[in-house]
Structure 1
């Protein structure tokens, strides 16, 4: 029996992997302690996104090595850049996520059984539907850690979702490196079927958010997928489709599996099927081959599509990737382009939230906020804050109808709408 400490960095997919690791450890009789000093083994689930993140991972790994008897490092940076930890002289086991439980205390942890273990974070259930992707992007290092897509069956994922709901999940987050290619390794694209079955076969009041799906995978299923969204209120009207550039030439250099017209097709399809929805997308600025004209095409696409959520990232060379061999653009130029796009993004997002003021929305309370407030999500997954939650009797897991009163650029404020009294039968004089 071992005492373990685990730290998780990065996306919800990583958090899901950590929950699975912990589930296996608990099944084997191991237990979690509050800090690395008390632990027999510390587990660090790493992220690799930009160079700053990697420096933070290496720094924290050195600290954990000094604070605990044994250190296991897993996650994307460990699997894609394990040598970086070794070159820093860090004494740790570098392992795949699946191998962590059996490595604790020299392999004494047994292989977890076939039972479904709910993965809960408050009232949020995290459901990784597959691991890996089908892409070969020139700048991406995560693919070295995750490999090609590996998709469990729809039946298996529906049962996992059912277990999460029965365990108390009110929001299911469908995650993966690329949810749009779920099922491709089995010869078919299964995301619409999975979402339809979760919404129709699982009893209970809950909501479902679909995680990142690359446009190349979504394009071929866009009609079917939009139809599923339109038919099911349990699905948040939200998609995250990272376009990365408004220039077809840059997308080709990036080896992205889509071009700008395919991205537009997806947006137009969802616009046609859904009256109120949120598009989230990503842009990389300063890719080594990006010219001034390419950047302007990205700016034009941003202003044209006007996505309600935008992630802007400056290009950063990832060791071992093809893009790392290209001559980079200057830091000043990347900073200027990032600033221009970020400012335009904030104007677009602020306008979207400003349009919400005065409207009424159905929301799910997802988590506690600062002070006596709660964070909610409306039907398009837009964030709404309700203050004085105790006075309103609101807590995570509750559904409520609210009226939006104000916004703070990237989120709105609202007040609950009091239920109207039922009309009385007229009295006869």
Structure 2
């Protein structure tokens, strides 16, 4: 759980994005503090209206970089003039990527009662609380403990209630969805997903973060459920964290790189189109140059279409906090290199979609201005501008043609 400080400059759109960032951070168990000095991470949401504003943004970024352990820069100037922040100790991110970057590789933290929530047409369904991991860098485990899995039928009823309440997308969440049922002696995630997909109604299901160790043991069964059910987004978030088995051992991750690759191969064989989402921690205390290159090679080999890059940050009370850390310059250089590779890989994925037809994409929520955000069957983000002209509203299913790409999402128009 991270302590964060956030500053927002500019228009109403920026303020709305910051509110969404904060909502996601709170949902994941992180909390806001007063002032960057008390924060683990500072977030600067920038504006770029005039030259004076740009100078102010750069000055403030430099100040925040000196006052806090990690600095994330987002907003208009970050996206339009990201190179301007090269001399600051900052990660430049799209606002939608900020919440994941704050986590330092830690599991999300659901509320104690793990109750479902309906947010617009999106139903949030926490299926369990806790995890089976003991990662050396993670403080979340101190708050959540080991996995506690309610029965399948109980979660199915919660999902059914969300659908009846109007949910068009159900997001399956938890500290580690892949180990659902381990505490009862039975691996049940694939069974739960099959049961939820059998609920009457037109909706989609997205599976939240599942560590590779939990997925690996049920990879064949899980991939088969994805292939057999159109309601399931063909999307898997399996955070590998490093391409080095040595580093994974020091992190006390329960998987090795080979197991992660077997998961990817299994899903490649079962699904024609699917999205691999993963996370990497850059600059773990024992990470060498060779370890870093192994992580870069793993990205090139598997080409994940969604990739969260996080610089290692010490969390109080964790074993990794006692390790001798790498210098900030090393972490910055490695983070910059991996982020550049990420933009290349993700950009290629969205660019390859231009001209493609995506049937039954779900309009999930309103976007900036007169636009809506949609998701195709592989959970890729498609933006439709001038949505009012097409009469599109959240909850509708629509056939789209992809017209252009913008690195981390694509633009589309109704057919």
Q: Output the TM-score relative to the length of structure 2.
A: 0.75
Instruction: Quote the Cα distance in structure 1 between the aligned partners of 2:25 and 2:117.
Output: 12
Alpha-carbon shift at residue 54 of structure 1 (Å): 4.1
Task: Kindly indicate whether the alpha-carbon contact (under 8 Å) linking 2:115 and 2:125 is maintained by their aligned counterparts in 1.
Answer: no
Matches within 5 A, 1:67-86: none
**Alpha-carbon spacing, 1:97–1:126, altered in 2? closer, same or farther (3 Å):** closer
After superposition, residues 368-407 of structure 1 pair within 5 angstroms as 368-407=366-405
Matched, 1:361 2:366: no
1:233 is matched with 230
Query: What aligned pairs does 1:206-245 form with structure 2 within 5 A after superposition?
Result: 206-245=203-242
Distance in 2, matches of 1:361 and 1:187, equals 40
The match for 1:333 among 325, 330, 335 is: 330
Listed as ranges, the gaps of 5+ residues in structure 1 are 1-6, 18-44, 58-95, 100-115, 418-429
Q: CA deviation at 1:15?
A: 3.2
Q: Give the drift of 1:269.
A: 0.2
Structure 1 pair 324–15 and aligned structure 2 pair: CA distance change class (3 A): closer
Contact 2:244 2:291 in 1 (8 A): yes
Q: What's the CA shift string for 1:192-226, capped at 9, x where partnerless? A: 000000011x1100000000000011000000000
CA deviation profile, 1:28-82 (whole Å, cap 9, x unmatched): xxxxxxxxxxxxxxxxx7389x99854669xxxxxxxxxxxxxxxxxxxxxxxxx
Indicate the residue corresponding to 2:280 in structure 1: 283
User: Residue 125 of structure 1: CA displacement?
Assistant: 0.2
Q: Establish whether residue 196 from structure 1 lines up as the match of residue 194 from structure 2.
A: yes
Q: How many residues of Structure 1 are paired with residues of Structure 2 in the alignment? A: 329
Instruction: Provide the residue aligned with 1:15 in structure 2.
Output: 27
CA-to-aligned-CA distance 1:248-300 (integer Å, 9 cap, x gap): 00000100000000000000000000000000000001000001110010011
Q: TM-score, structure 1 length as denominator? A: 0.73
Q: Which residue of 1 aligns with 2:102?
A: none
Equivalent residues of 1:149, 1:185 under 8 A apart = yes
- Report the Cα distance in structure 2 between the residues aligned to 1:205 and 1:197, rounded to whole angstroms: 15
1:303 to 288, 297, 300: 300
User: Counterpart of 1:126?
Assistant: 124
Alpha-carbon distance in 1 for matches of 2:294, 2:229: 35
Determine if contact 2:367/2:373 at 8 Å carries over to the other structure. yes
Change (3 A) 1:127 1:118: closer
Deviations 1:403-424 (A, max 9, x none): 000010000000100xxxxxxx
Q: Deviations over 1:171-192 (max 9, x none)?
A: 0000001000001011111100
Over the residues paired in the alignment, what is the CA RMSD in angstroms? 2.5
Say whether residues 1:271 and 2:268 are aligned partners.
yes
Cα 1:53–1:182 shift into 2, 3 Å: farther
Whether the 8 Å contact between 2:25 and 2:31 is mirrored in structure 1 is: no
